[in-house]
Amino acid sequence: MARLILLNKPYGVLTQFTDRENGRQTLADYVNLPGVYAAGRLDRDSEGLLLLTDNGPLNAQIAHPKYKKTKTYWVQVDGDPDDAALAALRNGVMLKDGMTLPARVRRIDEPAALWERDPPVRFRKSIPTSWLELTISEGRNRQVRRMTAAVGFPTLRLVRYAIGDWTLDGLVPGQWREIEVAAPRAAPSSGPTAAHGSAYDDAKPSRKVHRTRNARSSDSPSDITGQDSAARSSRGARPFNRRRPVKD
């Protein structure tokens, strides 16, 4: 079994454990577990589900693009998207780095479980805002924001609700929950790409929930850094010290 942390990352928090240069909020302000690191990224100005683990192969299975792990977002956009805009998102839109894969998208009401953002979203009184539920299987830099802007409806607020089968249900901003999942087998020594994914079992969430922590634990936060997740996937979990582009 492998350890998996589900965190509801608040707005304004960096997806890293240190920010010595600028002193901004980081994961260390909320998660005080040694040896865990983020599986994937979430923009500082985005909120919602972030997964952390101390298992290298599990990190790779969650974060590496070749596994196409689905991610579902609640997206507040400026304006009221028409059917043509939704169809474009479903078919794929052209961005500067190429065509996106087709997305699943539908109009939704503002989610009942949604919390107030601090600071609040700025919007124009003369233009309505709308909510979409958008599911993608890629992880390009700020992809969701670029997709909605490409069809004429800029993103005002972005909340990641789910990654695969894991959701942020029951978690308030800054709170985390630890669960156990089936641990993927480690890739051969030649590296994870050589196995083309065949060396990994599906990691499915267990019903066993160990503990839940609220924001701002009184324990001293860990000061954790580490290495690139692709290298970790074949060597096991290590802290990371290299900044990577933040992705939605």
Residues recognised as catalytic: 43
Whole-number Cα distances in Å, 20 to 11, 55, 164, 225: 19, 26, 33, 12
The secondary structure element, H or E, covering residue 235 is: helix 229-235
Burial call 120-144: b when 16+ CB within 10 Å, e when fewer = eeeeeeeeebbbbbbebebbbebbb
Helices (H), 52-172: 56-63, 83-91, 143-150
Q: Are 177 and 5 in contact (CB under 8 A)?
A: yes
Q: How far is CA 111 from the centre of its chain?
A: 18
